[in-house]
Amino acid sequence: MLEHLKEEVFQANLDLPKHGLVKYTWGNASGIDRERGLFVIKPSGVDYDKLKPNDMVVVDLDGNVVEGELNPSSDTKTHAVLYKHYQEIGGIVHTHSTWATIWAQAGLDVPAMGTTHADTFYGAVPCARFLTQEEIDRGYEAETGYVIIETFKERDLNILEVPGVLLQGHAPFTWGKDAKSAVMNSVVLDEVAKMNLFARELNHFAPELPQPILDKHYLRKHGKDAYYGQ
Amino acid sequence: MLEHLKEEVFQANLDLPKHGLVKYTWGNASGIDRERGLFVIKPSGVDYDKLKPNDMVVVDLDGNVVEGELNPSSDTKTHAVLYKHYQEIGGIVHTHSTWATIWAQAGLDVPAMGTTHADTFYGAVPCARFLTQEEIDRGYEAETGYVIIETFKERDLNILEVPGVLLQGHAPFTWGKDAKSAVMNSVVLDEVAKMNLFARELNHFAPELPQPILDKHYLRKHGKDAYYGQ
Amino acid sequence: MLEHLKEEVFQANLDLPKHGLVKYTWGNASGIDRERGLFVIKPSGVDYDKLKPNDMVVVDLDGNVVEGELNPSSDTKTHAVLYKHYQEIGGIVHTHSTWATIWAQAGLDVPAMGTTHADTFYGAVPCARFLTQEEIDRGYEAETGYVIIETFKERDLNILEVPGVLLQGHAPFTWGKDAKSAVMNSVVLDEVAKMNLFARELNHFAPELPQPILDKHYLRKHGKDAYYGQ
Amino acid sequence: MLEHLKEEVFQANLDLPKHGLVKYTWGNASGIDRERGLFVIKPSGVDYDKLKPNDMVVVDLDGNVVEGELNPSSDTKTHAVLYKHYQEIGGIVHTHSTWATIWAQAGLDVPAMGTTHADTFYGAVPCARFLTQEEIDRGYEAETGYVIIETFKERDLNILEVPGVLLQGHAPFTWGKDAKSAVMNSVVLDEVAKMNLFARELNHFAPELPQPILDKHYLRKHGKDAYYGQ
């Protein structure tokens, strides 16, 4: 079932090491079929060079396996919570990519300091708080999803305008209209995390991008008047 | 038309990811035929691994498409303004290469701190100011070109002696006698941006290159008494 | 003899340059056959691209060559001391990987600042002290092993829960249940060394990972209730 | 003539981009035949991917071309001065490798902070002073060689024990018993330059390597009692 989606999600997973975002098996990409309410995700801990499209696991929105002989990613419940809460999301990616993870460990939002950021994220990428002992005991992976939802709600952020988050002490999650665009958003997030770190090191007073330029770059690529691409 | 130039510009565009200057489609190279007053540029948002020489778009000096089925790069008007104003330029490159972009985000000129710099740039590479709301409204891409012209005029810089610029909060543009040399100037700019950042981090008092060494290195490679190469 | 183990150790050695952990011949991996009390290690100073499985040298727990025509790694006695003292160890790796070596040169423990660390190391990776002149004279390589043992004893660390160490002014050693897992632990150690350095640079007050999250990540991958993987 | 040496020097030149030490044509390796008093060097400004063994240029110790249709490297006279003054040197390499060049731009000696350094360099790698206007006018490339000689004399350094130098504002030169070992010394210098920069950034008080460990590591690889390798 969902052969086409499995192929898409398989390719998105292969793109993670190709873009230098993951070492070994430290990442996962998923994609959803909204009509059926099922999503497809990488199996847990399987080497990328042994992975096949048919190893992808089909899961429902409560995180139960519907089809597949392998265990799904240990982060499956985080994906499930996000898909269930945000109807707009078509694909999700989790990695421990170096530079985004550095910001997560620093516990800081990634500010919008350049147009590379503005082309993809309409404002700062937030850093969600540490999970508490109680949340961990209740169910670490699902609660990770709830903390993301809490963060976007508290800050009144649009999930598609800011398609990524850092979890303090952990690493980033990104999403998009499908698995492929979620991967691209992970690439962008890691790159701007690197750029911003060194820009502030070079000039501690390096400013955030002025609002008019942020608007211009985001809106020439996104929204009804976008004119980037074909 | 312009088949030879299309091939040249196509190769220059492929060199951008090859040299690690661009991810995905975040860059563009162009080259001009001065006799015809037409330039050739990469289409907007097309994957490098799907790009063909014939996808290159032919554009006039006002940025109007003369030939080609695809939309030209969204930065086409910046290229057009520069080609129109500076007769000496034969090729232009725009990337968001990591280290040059870091300096752009820091809002700082890249000083001439070593001979790697002096072999290509005869002095600091300037950082142009942010565009204003008014300029953005008037036409972001053309105004980006005008701000570059303003910067070179105010500082009395020779466009071929300093074949590159940073745009604050955005990224670099470089140019040269053709698209290939514009690519090389982007490689050099990114490398010296990296070197200078860490040289100043290692020694906050790291000096700029003394004028006699700057002169020697620039002039042994450029100008009538150059003796580098074949 | 030990053909299967030689093949395993050979592959583990090849994985070191593949993962960017070693340049030239600056690293070595070994694996042990506990029943026979013999271990297999890379020969000293042989280029990786000329290395063959049969070049692996078989050594006893006092570091004497049992089989092999080449000299074993100059660090063989360090491996022997560790295998002899810690029955739990099945494989050992030594590299001068960039970021772990930077922490060794800084003389600092690598604190557990993120889940990337907690997935593999159950707490900080210790930095062992410099060897003294007397220890060096007595036998540099064996004494290196003794200083590692001293460090783990003084700090009351479990050798498998913290499968790695830095030697001040030198570089890391890691270990695991076999040579392959020792390589992976080297990859993780280098990556978290890099992340932690820049996380603290970005935010000098970046905290260590709270204990509940450290517990959760370490224990979901290790121990009797682990649920990561297949 | 000197076909075997040309092949060796050609391979050494190819190793420079392979090890990430040079971009484009920014580097050169040479090797000498001491019996004939002639050395072989890369031609100036020729792309590495078009270079052939027979393009190597044969030069005498005054820097005059003896055989070859191409211009030799613009740095040929620096090589000639070093070969003439130091009979012990068999190969020389010049690059603008990133991290060594950063130290050159910072104007600082690279201290011996770890065993990676001590395995190759018996103490700090010195940074030679800027050339003066007078020296540049007299002959930039030959004077570069004289400043290196001055530096080693003033500091009473043995040319083979410390097989490399930085030139302030410029970049490194390394040497060795042949072109191949000169390349390896460039790789080591760049790597320790990187490590030392970040070790001091991580811990501003990171110490230099204690003398006994420096002695041990240098002498187990070099000198009459060396026991590293086969």
- Residue C178: per-residue pLDDT: 98
Range of the domain at C143: 3-221
- Residue D25's closest chain B neighbor by CA? B229
- Residue D200's closest chain B neighbor by CA? B202
Partner residue facing B228 (CB), from D23, D44, D170: D44
Mean pLDDT of C14-29: 94
Which tokens hold the place of B60? 């006039």
- Residue A137: per-residue pLDDT: 96
| Mutation site for D-interface testing, chosen from C23, C50, C55, C105 by largest number of D Cβ within 10 Å | C105
Q: pLDDT for D158-212, tens place per residue? A: 999 999 999 999 999 999 999 999 999 999 999 999 999 999 999 999 999 999 9
- Residue B18's closest chain D neighbor by CA? D23
Please list every residue in chain D whose beta carbon sits closer than 8 Å to the beta carbon of residue C44.
228-230
- Residue A25's closest chain C neighbor by CA? C229
Mean pLDDT of A98-107: 98
Residue C129 lies in a domain: yes
Q: Please tell me whether residue B120 adopts helix, strand or coil conformation.
A: coil
Residue A77 lies in a domain: yes
Q: Which chains touch D (3 or more CB pairs under 8 A)?
A: B, C
Strands C172-176 and C91-95: antiparallel
Please list the alpha-helical segments (H only) found in chain A.
Answer: 3-18, 76-85, 98-106, 115-118, 133-154, 179-202, 211-221
Please list every residue in chain B whose beta carbon sits closer than 8 Å to the beta carbon of residue D109.
none
Please list every residue in chain D whose beta carbon sits closer than 8 Å to the beta carbon of residue C45.
228-230
Residue C107 lies in a domain: yes
A120: closest CA of chain B, how far (Å): 12
- Residue C224: per-residue pLDDT: 83
B131-140 long-range contacts, CB within 8 A, separation 24+: B131/A212, B131/A213, B132/A212, B133/A212, B136/A212, B136/A213, B136/A216, B139/B77, B140/A216, B140/A220
- Residue C117: per-residue pLDDT: 98
| Mutation site for B-interface testing, chosen from D48, D102, D136 by largest number of B Cβ within 10 Å | D102
- Residue A120's closest chain B neighbor by CA? B26
Whole-number percent of chain A with pLDDT over 90: 92
User: Residues A47-84, buried b or exposed e (16+ Cβ, 10 A)?
Assistant: ebeebebebbbbbeeebeeeebebbbbbbbbbbbbbbb
A141: closest CA of chain B, how far (Å): 31
Strands B164-167 and D127-128: unpaired
- What pLDDT band is residue A225 in, cutting at 50, 70 and 90? confident
Integer CA distances (angstroms), C120 to A74, C29, C177, C184, in order? 15, 19, 13, 9
Tell me if C178 sits within 8 A of C92, measured CB to CB.
Answer: no
CA distance B124 to B166: 11
CA distance A189 to A167: 13
**Does residue B86 carry a pLDDT above 90?**
yes
CA-CA-CA-CA dihedral for D6, D10, D16, D18, to nearest 10: -150
Residue B214 lies in a domain: no
Partner residue facing A201 (CB), from C116, C199, C201: C201
- Residue A51: per-residue pLDDT: 94
Residue A35 lies in a domain: yes
Residue C230 lies in a domain: no
Residue A212 lies in a domain: no
Q: Does A201 touch chain C (CB under 8 A)?
A: yes
**Does residue C230 carry a pLDDT above 90?**
no
Please list every residue in chain D whose beta carbon sits closer than 8 Å to the beta carbon of residue B199.
102-103, 105-106
CA distance B123 to B109: 10
CA-CA-CA-CA dihedral for B90, B93, B94, B96, to nearest 10: -160
Active-site residue list of C: 119, 228
Which tokens hold the place of C213? 């999250």
Whole-number percent of chain C with pLDDT over 90: 92
- What pLDDT band is residue D224 in, cutting at 50, 70 and 90? confident
A221: closest CA of chain C, how far (Å): 30
The structure tokens 């991967």 sit at A183
Mean pLDDT of A13-30: 94
A36: closest CA of chain C, how far (Å): 27
A202: closest CA of chain B, how far (Å): 6
Q: How many domains does chain D have?
A: 1
**Does residue C228 carry a pLDDT above 80?**
no
Partner residue facing B44 (CB), from A195, A201, A228: A228
Q: Which chains touch C (3 or more CB pairs under 8 A)?
A: A, D
| Mutation site for C-interface testing, chosen from D18, D115, D120, D216 by largest number of C Cβ within 10 Å | D115
Determine the Cα angle at D229 with ends D228 and D230, to 5°.
Answer: 130
Mean pLDDT of A216-227: 88
* Residue that wins the pLDDT comparison between B187 and A224: B187
Tell me if A60 sits within 8 A of A38, measured CB to CB.
Answer: yes
Note whether A115 contacts B106, CB cutoff 8 Å.
Answer: no
Please list every residue in chain C whose beta carbon sits closer than 8 Å to the beta carbon of residue A104.
114
Residue D229 lies in a domain: no
**Does residue A228 carry a pLDDT above 80?**
no
Name the phi and psi angles at C53, rounded to 5: -55, -40
Q: Please tell me whether residue B79 adopts helix, strand or coil conformation.
A: helix
- Residue D107: per-residue pLDDT: 98
C15: closest CA of chain A, how far (Å): 12
The CATH number of residue B63's host domain is: 3.40.225.10
- Residue A25: per-residue pLDDT: 84
- Residue C223: per-residue pLDDT: 81
Q: Does B229 touch chain D (CB under 8 A)?
A: yes
The structure tokens 């809490």 sit at A150
Q: pLDDT for A186-208, tens place per residue? A: 999 999 999 999 999 999 999 99
Phi-psi region of C154 (alpha: psi -120 to 50; beta: other; left: phi over 0): alpha
- Residue D228: per-residue pLDDT: 76
DSSP for chain C, written as a single string: --HHHHHHHHHHHHHHHHTT--STT-EEEEEEETTTTEEEEPBTT--GGG--GGG-EEEETTS-EEE-SSPB-TTHHHHHHHHHH-TT--EEEEE--HHHHHHHHHT--B---SHHHHTT-SSPBPEEPPPPHHHHHHHHHHHHHHHHHHHHHHTT--TTTS-EEEETTS-EEEEESSHHHHHHHHHHHHHHHHHHHHHHHH-TTPPPPPHHHHHHHHHHHSSTT--S--
Tell me if D194 sits within 8 A of D99, measured CB to CB.
Answer: yes
**Does residue D123 carry a pLDDT above 80?**
yes
**Does residue D217 carry a pLDDT above 80?**
yes
Note whether D105 contacts B195, CB cutoff 8 Å.
Answer: yes
CA distance D24 to D49: 10
**Does residue B223 carry a pLDDT above 90?**
no
User: Residues B56-85, buried b or exposed e (16+ Cβ, 10 A)?
Assistant: bbbbeeebeeeebebbbbbbbbbbbbbbbb
Mean pLDDT of A63-81: 96
- Residue B220's closest chain D neighbor by CA? D74
